[in-house]
Structure 1
Amino acid sequence: MSALRTVRSLAAASSRTLAQRSVIGGAQRSVLSCSTLARALQCQKQWAVPAVRAFSISARTQKEGASDVSLSQKLQEELNYERGSAQAGQPEFIKDFVNQGVWTIDDTLGNDEVAFVRKFGNETIRLLFSISDLNASESDREFEMEQRVEAGEEADPEQQTISPCRVQVIVTKSDTPGSMNIDTMCQDVGFLIEHVGFFNDALIGTEVTAEMDWKRRGLYSGPSFDHLDPEVQEEFEKFLDERGINEALAIFLHDYAEYKEQTEYVSWIEKVQKFVEN
């Protein structure tokens, strides 16, 4: 028991004894004298802990953290490097592609998805792809190459030179209901078909919304492409090639995806740095 608790116990006991009267065996009443009580109270006062205000620390309002300046500087260095290595304005290969007047490019800064659109007779053809899918494929390819190098394998000159990217080809007709959706893998050899689907309602096949995506999942859209007769597969490949969905477009699409990714990256640095500085 601490000294403070002992003194407090003595004081409490003395008070009770003073208020209590007891007669035992005819003995005289025993009371704690006032002087004794005074000494006990004085001792208690000596050991008492002085009153202290509750401990609290008010957070200092800061406009910026200690690391904000260094982070902003590094972002600026990265931004200067990317701007220095980037070509000013739109690259010539994109201008040449658009000037051909076959495909139009539907691309909004800040959006991950890009669409190439063209008319072919009474058809409207849309090629949809995502640059995040391209980045994921690039990471897988780099990891695979590292594994081969570690295993002592030599680079194969015939190995594909571009990273594969998933591209969905959506075909609709102005005078016929429904849509044909062709899932492909875009590589340097062209567009490899993985699946051909058909939807009676063109909105289900073309609208990129959560509601339509849910409806598509519950519908039968067609068999796996490799389950089709080889001659049918070959005709579908001709169908795409006739509409300009070929090796040349595959190479351009990959180059455009890299340009798009670079543009989005620079824009991301600019926005993040501005946010950190303010």
Structure 2
Amino acid sequence: MPSSIASSLLCRTLRLSRSSSRFFGHCQPLFYSSLASSRSSSPLIRSVVPQILRNPPSLLSFRFASSKVSADENLKRVLDSEINCVLQSNTHGQEIELPDGFPFEIIDNPGNQTVILKREFAGENIQVTVFMNLDAEGDLGENDEDGSEDDNNESSFQPTISVVVSIEKGEGPFLEFSCNLNADELEIESMALKKHDAPDDQGAYQGPEFSDLDENLQKALHKYLAVRGIKGSLFDFLHEYMMSKDEKEYLAWLKNLKEFVGK
């Protein structure tokens, strides 16, 4: 009996051994074929797969989106800070009182850099377009000859208001003055007699330079403007008014920029 059991186990082992050898002998060519195929296509795999792994599209998109959000949030924080600074300034919200006897109507459109003054005077229509300049007489921070900073630089700073005055009499030509107002006086830079249908006619003769005119004629033209309300005493009011306008326009600009960034 034991010998028959041993013989049975031996036969079973031999069958398994032969079956295994047939299985591996059949599968081995497939294995080598697959390996050969993968080797033949390996350059393509090496060129495509690493790029995808290095730069997954979703990861790049997330990175760009994250950077955009971070930059936008930072800009909004800075804008909020600047808006608060303007709102907390000493001059914010102050009303500018008109001086006694101010003869002009003020036309101030939000978003415009200029202010228009209008009035009628003895049959004339007078319009003054007011600009704000912050030019200085001399460069601030400039050193003097011995290399030391000029202590009077701050005092040399002269804010200037530029105005263009037009005086009309009906449908005919109109007279136009370009002037500068400062704390000391009204300076006439130039003057010209223009036509409504060709106000920018470069070929028209406009007379000599104002500074080349006879001194008495210059004085008479200054008096001509002063009688119509255009004189140096306007400076204090216009300077204060234009500074207030500049602050309002800046605040509106900041808010518009913040609204755009926040969309």
Query: Which of structures 1 and 2 has the bigger CA Rg?
Result: 2
> Any conservation in 1 of the 2:172–2:196 contact (CA below 8 Å)?
yes
Distance 1:163 1:88, change over 3 A: closer
1:81-96 to 2 correspondences below 5 Å: 81-87=85-91, 89=93, 91=95, 94-96=96-98
> Any conservation in 2 of the 1:127–1:169 contact (CA below 8 Å)?
yes
Question: Distance in 2 between the 1:247 and 1:160 partners?
Answer: 19
Divergent runs of 4+, >6 A: 39-42
Q: Say which of 76, 86, 101 aligns to 1:72.
A: 76
Partner of 2:125, secondary structure, is strand
Question: Distance in 2 between the 1:46 and 1:160 partners?
Answer: 82
Q: Say which of 210, 215, 236 aligns to 1:225.
A: 210
1:239 Cα offset (Å): 0.9
What corresponds to 2:141 in structure 1?
A: 146
Amino acid at match of 1:273: K
Deviations 1:200-244 (A, max 9, x none): x23544xxxxxxxxx333433332101111111111111111122
Unaligned stretches of 5+ in structure 2? 1-31
What corresponds to 1:172 in structure 2?
A: 168
TM-score (structure 2 length as normaliser): 0.70
Deviations 1:32-55 (A, max 9, x none): xxxxxxx99975752432554785
> Any conservation in 2 of the 1:161–1:188 contact (CA below 8 Å)?
no
> Any conservation in 1 of the 2:72–2:261 contact (CA below 8 Å)?
yes
Deviations 1:83-122 (A, max 9, x none): 112556451xx3334x745111111111112111122111
What corresponds to 1:35 in structure 2?
A: none
Partner of 1:275, secondary structure, is helix
Question: Distance in 1 between the 2:110 and 2:258 partners?
Answer: 18
Is 1:118 matched up with 2:111? no
> Any conservation in 2 of the 1:160–1:187 contact (CA below 8 Å)?
no
What corresponds to 1:236 in structure 2?
A: 221
Paired residues in the alignment total 219
> Any conservation in 2 of the 1:116–1:126 contact (CA below 8 Å)?
yes
Deviations 1:2-49 (A, max 9, x none): xxxxxxxxxxxxxxxxxxxxxxxxxxxxxxxxxxxxx99975752432
Structure 1 vs Structure 2: percent identity of aligned residues? 23
Deviations 1:168-187 (A, max 9, x none): 1111113x611101111111
Partner of 2:98, secondary structure, is helix
Is 1:155 matched up with 2:157? no
1:266 Cα offset (Å): 0.8
> Any conservation in 2 of the 1:196–1:223 contact (CA below 8 Å)?
no
Question: Distance in 2 between the 1:244 and 1:127 partners?
Answer: 10
Partner of 2:152, secondary structure, is coil
Aligned Cα root-mean-square deviation (Å): 3.2
What corresponds to 2:28 in structure 1?
A: none
Question: Distance in 2 between the 1:104 and 1:265 partners?
Answer: 24
